[in-house]
Structure 1
Amino acid sequence: MKNLIIAAAAVFTLFSCKQEEKPKSWQLSQTIITEGVNPIGIAHSAEGIWLSDGDHNRVVLIDENGKVRKTIDSLDRPMHISSENSEVVIPQYGNDQIMRWKEDVVNIMAIEDSLDAPAGVWRRGTEIAIADFYNNRILYSETGQDWISFGKEGKAEGEFYYPTDVQITEDRIWVADAYNNRIQAFDKTGKYLQQMGADQKMNAATGIYVSDMNVFVTDFENDRILVFDHQGVLQQEVSENIAKPTDLILINDKLHVINYRNGKINVFEWKEIVANPDGEHEDHDHHDHDH
């Protein structure tokens, strides 16, 4: 009998804890000022945060206070960059080249199939994907040697209208299909799987970041971030301090959003929504599931 009472009490405690869980949302916690930088792309390495400054034809490494610590210059309109193991992969929109930079050693990727204004790149281990802007397609390589190409100009499933950013996850390739105002997902053979964002009336879906739970998208002209789950269900709309966002990334579970217009990086944390004295939530953005 005693054991039954203890078990019942444990179940009641667990149930009570679950009932008391408060809703959470992405909330602004910090703004990093990057003076003299007009950021288009963002990446992260052990050294710090990398920003592509297309207007000044450079990529810069900044510290946690926004101060420039290192510069890769003499570029030609660098766009949505990627970084892994201290290597920075840089798509150059102006000269149709992909640069791989590591510890001041520069390599230009040899790609037989010519690019036309590469706007985004992503490296994941030996895998690399490129958003080939004016060719309205994605190039993907499992090894960095042999490439497949998929997509063409259009609005149908699997077609693009100026893709600007791309990300590789374990089993998918995600694409910011900028001027079709949507995100599309493909398997690693280039087969179309799904899309999201069509119902949110985005205006230039320029940047993308995919976490284990969510898909984050910069809605450039509407000055907001949209957060979806992997099924495409909208979880939250974030607009506080957002001005012409171009790219975003999770660093230590904090969402870093770059604003092209004012050169700021806004940092958002996943926190409980706190009610104000009038009994209303301080956060007015749509929210739903955990990140």
Structure 2
Amino acid sequence: MKDLYILVTVVVLFSSCKQEEVPKEWKLATVIQLEGINPIGITELDGKLWLSDGDHNRLVQIDENGVIEKTIDSLDRPMHIDADKVSIFIPQYGKDNVAVFKNGTLEDLFLNDSLDAPAGVAVYKSERAIADFYNNRILFNNGKDWISFGEEGKKQGEFYYPTDVQITDSLIWVADAYNNRIQVFDKQGNFVQMMGQNQKMNAATGIYVSDNEVFITDFENDRVLIFDKDGNLRQTLRDEIEKPTDMIIIQETLYIINYRNGKLSSYILNPIDNSMS
């Protein structure tokens, strides 16, 4: 009888927890004007936001009000950046290389290959990936060896100017910009899935992958599309978004950078309001 009582109690508690789960969606929280910055890429290092300012050939670190605190100058059109715990990785579109900023020093990432306008870079543990824009391919390093996959085209596994890339535990996610879609690959470069191809995107320029969602900037349509990892569209963000290029989630806040108006829009998760339905 005692065991039965415990089992019933556990079932009731579990059911209560399930009932308390409330669906949430991203909603606009704040907008910060970035004076004199035309942001293209965004990353975080030591709790600080860094932006690539391609029009001014620099990276800038900003505070919570968007004020510039630090600058890395003398770059050549830095694009979609990424960071690990100690370094910032900077694809230089105009210089055909990837620079690494560490301890106040810039060095080139060693590659036994030639890039043509790298537009995005990703780091994950010891792994590295580069979106090689004009070569229509992705370069991937597993911590030891580099592989290359992709070529120009519209079929699965082919690219038409990839602009951004992200690595997760088992997959490589690519913003296939002018094919207006996301493509996903395993770490041997094999095609896994495609998403967003039915959303009538116009320049899918930036990508961010969280634990449960995939975010893509739809540059010319002034919106950010949010998918689940099966490719189902969950939400479309439009508020205070104009020519978005990249985004990142830090401590449950989604930061979206807008190239055209130089603004940083932040979104937070709120319960879905069904009162109007």
Q: Structure 1 length as normaliser, TM-score?
A: 0.90
**Matching of residues 46-195 of structure 1 within 5 Å:** 46-143=46-143, 146-195=145-194
- Which moved further from structure 2: 113-122 or 20-29? 20-29
Separation of aligned partners in 2, 1:168 and 1:280: 39
Over 3 Å counting, the alpha-carbon distance change for 1:242 and 1:5 in structure 2 is: same
Name the residue aligned to 2:34: 34
Asked whether the 8 Å contact 1:203–1:222 carries over to 2, the reply is: yes
Shift in CA distance, 4/136, structure 1 to aligned 2, threshold 3 Å:
same
Structure 1 unaligned residues grouped into runs of 5+: 282-291
Q: Which amino acid aligns with 1:253?
A: E
Q: Secondary structure at the match of 2:202?
A: coil
Note the residue ranges of structure 2 that are not aligned, 5 or more in a row: none
Whether the 8 Å contact between 1:121 and 1:128 is mirrored in structure 2 is: yes
Specify whether residues 16 and 127 from structure 1 end up closer, same or farther in structure 2 by C-alpha distance, changes over 3 A only: closer
SS of equivalent residue, structure 2 residue 39: coil
SS at match of 2:155: coil
Structure 2 Cα separation of the partners of residues 89 and 114 of structure 1: 17
Aligned to 1:270: 269
How far did residue 180 of structure 1 move?
A: 0.3
Cα deviation, residue 273, structure 1: 2.2
Please list the CA deviations of residues 208-235 of structure 1 after superposition, one character each: whole Å capped at 9, or x if unmatched. Answer: 0011111111111111111111111111
Q: Hey, what does 1:284 align to over in structure 2?
A: none
Q: Deviations over 1:147-191 (max 9, x none)?
A: 110000000000000000001111111100000000001011101
For residue 131 of structure 1, give the secondary structure of its aligned residue in structure 2: strand
Which has the higher mean CA deviation after the structures are superposed, 170-179 or 6-15?
6-15
Structure 1: distance between partners of 2:103 and 2:60: 13
Distance (Å, rounded) in 2 between the aligned partners of 1:17 and 1:131: 43
- The 3 A distance-change label for structure 1 pair 105 and 24 is same
Q: Shift of the alpha carbon at 1:2?
A: 9.1
Moved more, 200-209 or 28-37: 28-37
Instruction: Name the structure 1 match of 2:276.
Output: 280
Amino acid at match of 2:114: S
Instruction: Give the 3 Å change call, closer, same or farther, for CA 16–111 of structure 1 in structure 2.
Output: closer
Mapped to 2, the partners of 1:269 and 1:85 lie a distance apart of: 25
Q: Does 1:205 pair with 2:204? A: yes
Q: What is the letter of the counterpart of residue 104 of structure 1? A: G
Q: Percent identity?
A: 58
SS in structure 2 of the partner of residue 199 of structure 1:
coil
Distance in structure 1 (CA, Å) of the matches to 2:122 and 2:80: 8
